[in-house]
Structure 1
Amino acid sequence: MSAMELRGERVVLRPVADDDAAVLDRIVREPTVAAWWSPPDDYADMLAVVLDGEVIGAIQFAEEPDPEFRHAGIDVFLATAHQGKGLGTDAIRALARWLIGTRGHHRLTIDPAAANTAAIRSYAKVGFKPVGVMRAYSLDPLTGKWQDGLLMDLLADELS
């Protein structure tokens, strides 16, 4: 992934550099991010979301290689100051195009907390559709209580 760089309309996705970790660690601890994300042990498997040369968040993907179930999953977080401006949507769309067009996936998934309505709206703009609620799916990083997740997926021809 070292030479990978993906371009959205406004953001660039590139491998996380060593000096990005401190910035991402600060972002993931902002209250509007920490409500949905726990700080990861390592940012090495993520892509930095960059706007005008500034790291504003991170995006990651995981691929299921089994041919019978082949698909990829995506997750993203952005700094509070950059939320609600279509930048997360741009980042998701850029990664989705690459996963479908270059990696050959026919289906992508994303699984926000069911209460994260802003994220759900953003993902729907890319073409993700709700599949179902996964009850007590993830441990809330702030309250320590189990929260429901919303499974959403997108088929290749639904990407908008």
Structure 2
Amino acid sequence: MELRGDKVLLRPVARGDGEVLDRIVREPEVAAWWSPPESYERMLAVVVEGEVVGAIQFHEETKTEYRHAGIDIFLTARLHGKGLGTDAVRTLARWLVRERGHHRLVIDPAAANAAAIRSYRKVGFQPVGVMRAYWLDHRTGLWQDGLLMDLLAEDLS
């Protein structure tokens, strides 16, 4: 599967991408919000001009009465603020709605991650509520709040 956005290409993580992604997820600006995953095998590489610059993943709830999908993403800090995350999330969201048939998507950034929240709002995600003590900050050992955001198919920009 390859998905093309305006600025990014999303493709399965390939052999050798793991080292690059390990370096990215350990950048201080990325590590503030992400812990290194056990594996990148279920993720898609975010590629810009032939360079792996991050990863995005999705999960699906397939029970009919709760059917929806969720998205997570990280990008190298040197490319933050350039619209690449917005493009990657929008590209994956469109595929999840159009090809996988989801009517609702969720994303759950740290409540303090204002840049991520702004990016997701550009795609059409709306805040639903704060999830108190949602994720354990591995750097401080303290529980941090998360912001649950969702997007309905008709809100997708």
Alignment-derived partner of residue 33 in structure 2: 36
CA distance in 1, matches of 2:97, 2:138: 31
* TM-score, length basis structure 2: 0.99
2:92 to 95, 100, 112: 95
Percent sequence identity over matched residues? 74
1:59 equivalenced with 2:59 (yes/no): no
Q: Deviations for 1:2-49, whole angstroms, at most 9, x for unmatched residues?
A: xx0000001000000011000000000000000000000100000000
* Contact kept in structure 2, 1:36 and 1:141, CA below 8 Å: no
1:81 to 75, 78, 81: 78
- Unaligned segments of structure 1, at least 5 residues: none
2: CA distance, partners of 1:143 / 1:25: 20
Q: In the alignment, does 2:125 pair up with 1:131?
A: no
CA–CA separation in structure 2 for the residues paired with 1:89 and 1:34? 19
Length, aligned pairs only? 157
Q: Alpha-carbon deviation of 1:144?
A: 1.2
Q: TM-score, normalised by structure 1?
A: 0.98
**Regions of 4+ moved over 2 Å:** none
Given the alignment, which residue of 20, 25, 38 partners 2:22?
A: 25
1:44-83 per-residue CA deviation (whole Å, 9 max, x = no partner) reads 0000000000000000000001000000000000001111
- Contact in 2 for aligned 1:13/1:48 (Cα 8 Å): yes
Which one-letter code corresponds to 2:125 in the other structure? F
Whether the 8 Å CA contact 1:62–1:74 is kept in 2: the answer is yes
